[in-house]
Structure 1
Amino acid sequence: MKFLKAPGFWVTVIGLSVAFFVGRTINPTLLVEKIQLDVKINEEGQAYYIKREVPQILQNVIPVSESKLWPLLGERSNTLPTEESEIVEETKTIDGERVTHYYMLNPRSHYNYWSLLPAVIAVALCFITREPVTALAGGIVTGALLMQRYDLTGDVLIPTIGTSTGATILVLYLWFLGGLMGIWSKNGAALAFAEMVTKRFVRGPKTAKLVAWGLGVLFFQGGTMSTVLVGTTVRPVADKEKVSHEELSFIVDATASPIAVLLPFNAWPFYVQSFIYVGGAAFLATEASRITFFYQSIPLSFYAIFAVLFTFLMSIDKMPFISRTFKDAIKRSRETGQLDRPGAEPLLAKELENAKVPEGYKPNVIEFFIPILLIIGIAIGTYIFMGSSKILWGFGAGMLYAFLSTLIRGMSLKNVINGFTDGLKGVVYGSVILLLAITIGGISKAAGGGLYLVDLLGGSLPYWILPVALQILTMFIAFSTGTSFGTFAVTFPLAMPLAWALAGSAGIENAYLYMLVCFAAVINGSVYGDQCSPISDTTVLSSMATGCDLMDHVRTQIVPCSLAALLAATGWTIIVLVAV
């Protein structure tokens, strides 16, 4: 009966009880979300807009006079006349010209501050128990009870696994990534790469970490691609040089999304621009101008700049402010060679920690380089020529090459299959956590946690405090939901019009600079929250690819990341007070 004395048990019991009670007794607050659509005409003369990088033909458009939801914008109620989204058109006369704008109106709901309960329970249990599976499961069940979805498999888990995101996790991270890492472990390719890099470039822990930092900058596509590629590439080298997994996972994570902000030659500007149109702001009127606006905000992305700078300082052992936990991890690995804390539960299983090359088979570094080049080349090439990065194609081609080349070079089919299956075993635990992280993010979004926080901020604010308020808001939303892209979609439709209105009411002379600062605050706050959240896919993947305990990674990186966020907030406030 020891579990009765465990704090995690009582946190779970209280959370589930409160969620059940609230779900049964409190009606959600209903409101209407308005998103302006960036409508274009295709070669066939059809009007369309982009949704998740896929063109959507504009259909079933109604004038605002016939909309059931339009009159309810800005209202809060317990009932709405329809549960279906609407696409409406509004025609105005501007400077003597008739201009038509298109909007998507979405019925949304939240349970006020109770909407945050699933994320709060999940995050709290992560820190209390240091065991992510039960923590995430606790948050998922809490959210299900809150929304009265009592069929956990049919209403919660299966819908997540059945989505394209869930299928991608199973195919990419379980089959392709796990299989590739398992084959590398069996044919010794990763070990051969580590020996080559160690011999030619690496002269100790500093240079091993610098290799990781350099690759993180090089793979500026950001997100999952960066964390997986950098982590799996550098881990054998870093392990050999006694670099703790906490250090490596921090470098990998903090040079993923921050670099994607600073070198946004990727999908980020095209995704974000669709949310930042503001009526009356001429510099945000067209897609081209909004993308230019994104690029011009880069010098103001202070959090991303400091995050990348701090990882560089960490690489050369000059990081001035790190936690005692981080210092202990560095001391432990250097003095004892223990790459993980005693009692840690790395997301990378023992099957993938050491090479198991069959007798008579000679490892070749080419078997490491060609799969990596295939992954990078296909991912970047398809983005350039097709408009979207086909990461699955890249990993599939890389794994297939590794499989066939190992057979051709003389390894028996049985040994190759054994390596493949060992790889699958090695990433099962991490893949389960990743699926649960995606599920809790969806639950938090469905419960309306981010929507509630945005709704809460909708009142008037002093103009000088808005950037920091937006930063804090997005940090909380992204930390609670584990997604920066989802936070963009929730926050930008409020943040940019609010910033424009405050700029006008406060008589700000340099409204353009003020809007840039507010934009950068949303982008960077979202990146911070996503990076530090234990329920974020990039956090989980950074831990998985580097073989780190998930909560050890979260605990050690949160101090330098929070320092970077504080410095960013200070910088934005100074600019707003002095320059606008």
Structure 2
Amino acid sequence: MNKQSRAATPIPAVEEAATGAAEGTGVVGGTGGRLRPSRILAAAAILGGLVGGLYVFVQVDPEWRERKIAYQVYENDAGELTYRSHGEETAVGPVVPYAESPLRAEALRGLQGEPELDSQWIFETEEEDGVVGARYSLLEAEFHFGLWSLLPAGVAIALCLLTKEPLTALLSGVIVGALMLGRFDITDAVLLPSLSSKGAATVLLLYLWLLGSLMGIWSRTGAAQAFAEFMTRRFVRGPRSAKLVAWLMGVLFFQGGTVSVVLVGTIVKPVADRERVSHEELSYIVDSTASPIASVLAFNAWPAYVQALIFVPGVAFLATEEDRIAFFFRSVPLSFYGILAVSGTFLLSLDYTRFAGAGIREASERARTTGQLDAPGVSPLSSAELTVARVPAGYRPHVLEFFVPFILLIGTAVGTFVLTGTPEVNWAFGLALLSSVVTALGRGMRLRHVIEGIGDGMKGVVLASVVLLLAITVGGISREVGAGAYLVELLGGQISYLALPASLQLITMVIAFSTGTSWGTYAIAFPLAMPLAWEVAGAAGVDRPELFMSVCFAAVLNGSVFGDQCSPISDTTILSAMTTGCDLMDHVKTQIVPASYAALLAAALWTATVYFFV
């Protein structure tokens, strides 16, 4: 490939990627006509998963457990029992004594069939300083199938690693989970309910229609390429500065999660592609400055969500919502994984790759020397429609066609967050898309070309949108069969106070990796971990129990972030690959090495903090 000036370096042609992807990707090929071992293992995993799912349905009885969530319940001005959740006051339902609830542990032990209720408010009497009062909790029944509960997620993750084909892997995990629950009508009993959920509708609206359309318009008007040329002329001087721009934007968009991934990945890809930054490097930077930075710069929706899960009766510094939010921010300096993950991507941006792993080093060398942004034979989640600009003849791109929608997008997302506490991302992308369409038409582009651009953009993200929908489904079915509950029960037994933070980190890493969600893991782990930490602190007689609780809190918060970030069934992982044009499993395999270094060092720091300061 021509190695002249950077400005003249073209983005690798789609034909080259297609040729590389076509070589050696058949079922038989490169092995003398024999089936590859990975395909034999994949077939065995599918067959074993299906047989295992049927076996669980026929032979394995669910093990029911109580799940008690303690809330701070109070009487409002009308004399009604209420509690606050997500900033809203909610009335407490009918309350019964704990001893009378059919959802208590004793009643669920040996239960045949399903309990008569899904949840129930209960109260327990307690005495403190000679005063007898009532403690209110929401009691829920949850179940698991023991080790079998890990089967759906295990099949999906194993197939992702073996085949590098996420659609088959995720669909197999969904089918295995459905068989375990006896839902043999996969379409009507599993897929349709999942696809009709609010989460699925959000995926279709935001990622398929709005994001896809916006990327398609930017491709058709040449706005993305104009932005890349502008950044190259003014700020970017090579791969290092291109990566620094990506890192800085990830830090600036500290709302975390899918919002950060979509914004940063979409915006920096043209610049990074022009400067020969491999897609593995770029996807790692985008992913590792999403949720990790949100756990450190926590001026977002995270504290309001998490505080409702960490109330512990009798703990003064967790008594009120304001106390719990203050506790969250006091614990931020202990978010060692988040700090190390963001610092690691900063070092990678400076081309310091000692802890980046061999995969990222090889990808960086390949991109610099050959111009190939992806490894041969891979299947990136972005398509040709979003890779090559298709500007109509006679139309002159302008950088303002990128900046105006971008400013509207950021301004709307940040402004609605400041005013309402929740960033209205759909509004933000909708206004950005509308302004792009109006600007293109106003500058003389024909309506036919605008519609074609929108269509191309939607086609370009169809595969990633389907993968996201299946990831939502397999994550939901993993939680339903009790994967998280089983892991907590398995790993959260008798633990010494010194080993508790690292143990909580390990538990939440595995839960989040298996379910593909950090917030879902918080809902499972925090109501169990925080009371456990308080009891362990009391039993060990630690001198600084609040610091010990902060360390355990940070371990749960950060362990969940690691598992979500590295899971191939996580929405942020998939979107990082999609928006940067990376193959999903190449992203997973290259990212997990530096992320694991950060996680190990974080565990050592939490343990050292407890040993020396608690």
TM-score range, shorter chain: over 0.9
Distance change >3 Å, CA 400–CA 498, structure 1 → 2: same
2:127 paired with 1:118:
no
Following superposition of structure 1 onto structure 2, how do residues 7-46 of structure 1 map, counting pairs within 5 Å? 7-39=41-73
Q: CA–CA distance in 1 between the matches of 2:207 and 2:196?
A: 16
Residue type of the partner of 1:166? A
Of 326, 329, 349, which aligns to 1:295?
329
2:199 paired with 1:149:
no
Of 340, 343, 346, which aligns to 1:309?
343
Alignment match, 1:388:
422
Q: Is the 8 A contact 1:89 1:101 kept in 2?
A: yes
Give the deviation of 1:88 after TM superposition: 2.3
Following superposition of structure 1 onto structure 2, how do residues 357-368 of structure 1 map, counting pairs within 5 Å? 357-368=391-402
Alignment match, 2:294:
260
Q: Is the 8 A contact 1:29 1:78 kept in 2?
A: no
Say which SS state the counterpart of residue 136 (structure 2) adopts.
strand
Say which SS state the counterpart of residue 307 (structure 1) adopts.
helix
Q: Is the 8 A contact 1:31 1:72 kept in 2?
A: no
Q: CA–CA distance in 2 between the matches of 1:76 and 1:315?
A: 56
Alignment match, 1:321:
355
Give the deviation of 1:327 after TM superposition: 1.7
Residue type of the partner of 1:107? A
Q: Which runs of 5+ in 1 are unaligned?
A: none
Alignment match, 1:57:
91
Distance change >3 Å, CA 210–CA 169, structure 1 → 2: same
Q: Is the 8 A contact 2:246 2:268 kept in 1?
A: yes
Residue type of the partner of 2:430? G
Give the deviation of 1:434 after TM superposition: 0.5
Give the deviation of 1:50 after TM superposition: 4.8
**Worse overlay, 251-260 or 19-28:** 19-28
2:251 paired with 1:217:
yes
Distance change >3 Å, CA 39–CA 406, structure 1 → 2: farther
2:459 paired with 1:425:
yes
Distance change >3 Å, CA 100–CA 396, structure 1 → 2: farther
Alignment match, 1:198:
232
2:209 paired with 1:175:
yes
Q: Is the 8 A contact 2:210 2:433 kept in 1?
A: yes
Q: Is the 8 A contact 1:532 1:539 kept in 2?
A: yes
Say which SS state the counterpart of residue 499 (structure 2) adopts.
helix
Q: CA–CA distance in 1 between the matches of 2:236 and 2:519?
A: 36
Q: CA–CA distance in 1 between the matches of 2:367 and 2:346?
A: 19
Q: CA–CA distance in 1 between the matches of 2:499 and 2:133?
A: 34
Q: CA–CA distance in 2 between the matches of 1:186 and 1:46?
A: 58
Q: Is the 8 A contact 1:85 1:107 kept in 2?
A: yes
Residue type of the partner of 1:390? E
Q: CA–CA distance in 2 between the matches of 1:482 and 1:73?
A: 32
Count of aligned residue pairs for this structure pair: 580
**Worse overlay, 250-259 or 327-336:** 327-336
Alignment match, 2:261:
227
Alignment match, 2:385:
351
Q: CA–CA distance in 2 between the matches of 1:40 and 1:152?
A: 44
Of 348, 372, 379, which aligns to 2:413?
379
Q: CA–CA distance in 2 between the matches of 1:99 and 1:348?
A: 59
Following superposition of structure 1 onto structure 2, how do residues 383-462 of structure 1 map, counting pairs within 5 Å? 383-462=417-496
Say which SS state the counterpart of residue 86 (structure 1) adopts.
strand
Of 307, 313, 317, which aligns to 1:273?
307
Of 337, 342, 352, which aligns to 2:376?
342
Q: Is the 8 A contact 2:385 2:459 kept in 1?
A: yes
Say which SS state the counterpart of residue 310 (structure 1) adopts.
helix
Say which SS state the counterpart of residue 122 (structure 2) adopts.
strand
Distance change >3 Å, CA 329–CA 187, structure 1 → 2: same
Alignment match, 1:186:
220
Q: CA–CA distance in 2 between the matches of 1:253 and 1:54?
A: 31
Give the deviation of 1:59 after TM superposition: 2.9
Distance change >3 Å, CA 180–CA 461, structure 1 → 2: same
Alignment match, 1:534:
568
Alignment match, 1:545:
579
Residue type of the partner of 1:301? S
Say which SS state the counterpart of residue 59 (structure 1) adopts.
coil
Alignment match, 2:507:
473
State the percentage of identical aligned residues: 54
Q: Which runs of 5+ in 2 are unaligned?
A: 1-26, 29-34
**Worse overlay, 435-444 or 78-87:** 78-87
Q: Is the 8 A contact 2:70 2:313 kept in 1?
A: no
Distance change >3 Å, CA 298–CA 412, structure 1 → 2: same
**Worse overlay, 416-425 or 353-362:** 353-362
Say which SS state the counterpart of residue 343 (structure 1) adopts.
coil
Give the deviation of 1:296 after TM superposition: 0.9
Q: CA–CA distance in 1 between the matches of 2:197 and 2:478?
A: 17
Q: Is the 8 A contact 1:31 1:73 kept in 2?
A: no
Q: CA–CA distance in 2 between the matches of 1:393 and 1:270?
A: 22
1:202-237 per-position Cα deviation (integer Å, ceiling 9, x unaligned)? 000000000000000000000000000000000000
Q: CA–CA distance in 1 between the matches of 2:299 and 2:57?
A: 44
Say which SS state the counterpart of residue 137 (structure 2) adopts.
strand
1:5-37 per-position Cα deviation (integer Å, ceiling 9, x unaligned)? 632111111111111112211111011111122
Q: Is the 8 A contact 1:32 1:73 kept in 2?
A: no
Give the deviation of 1:100 after TM superposition: 3.9
Q: CA–CA distance in 2 between the matches of 1:466 and 1:428?
A: 43
Q: Is the 8 A contact 1:33 1:73 kept in 2?
A: no
Q: CA–CA distance in 2 between the matches of 1:535 and 1:47?
A: 40
2:124 paired with 1:105:
no
**Worse overlay, 527-536 or 275-284:** 275-284
Please provide the CA RMSD for this pair.
Answer: 1.9
Q: Is the 8 A contact 2:348 2:356 kept in 1?
A: no
Q: Is the 8 A contact 1:244 1:338 kept in 2?
A: yes
Distance change >3 Å, CA 46–CA 366, structure 1 → 2: farther
Q: Is the 8 A contact 1:242 1:333 kept in 2?
A: yes
Following superposition of structure 1 onto structure 2, how do residues 63-102 of structure 1 map, counting pairs within 5 Å? 63-64=97-98, 66-70=100-104, 72=106, 77-78=111-112, 81-97=115-131, 99-102=133-136
Alignment match, 1:564:
598
Q: CA–CA distance in 2 between the matches of 1:422 and 1:55?
A: 45
Q: CA–CA distance in 2 between the matches of 1:143 and 1:125?
A: 15
Distance change >3 Å, CA 118–CA 81, structure 1 → 2: closer
Give the deviation of 1:90 after TM superposition: 3.6
Residue type of the partner of 2:250? G
Say which SS state the counterpart of residue 464 (structure 1) adopts.
coil
Distance change >3 Å, CA 433–CA 54, structure 1 → 2: farther
TM score, norm. by length of structure 2: 0.91
1:23-69 per-position Cα deviation (integer Å, ceiling 9, x unaligned)? 21111101111112244667877654455666543333334354322
Give the deviation of 1:102 after TM superposition: 2.6
Q: Is the 8 A contact 2:282 2:580 kept in 1?
A: yes
Distance change >3 Å, CA 508–CA 278, structure 1 → 2: same
Q: Is the 8 A contact 1:258 1:307 kept in 2?
A: yes
Q: Is the 8 A contact 2:71 2:308 kept in 1?
A: yes
2:525 paired with 1:491:
yes
TM score, norm. by length of structure 1: 0.96
Distance change >3 Å, CA 375–CA 58, structure 1 → 2: farther
Q: CA–CA distance in 1 between the matches of 2:335 and 2:473?
A: 30
Say which SS state the counterpart of residue 308 (structure 2) adopts.
helix
Say which SS state the counterpart of residue 297 (structure 1) adopts.
helix
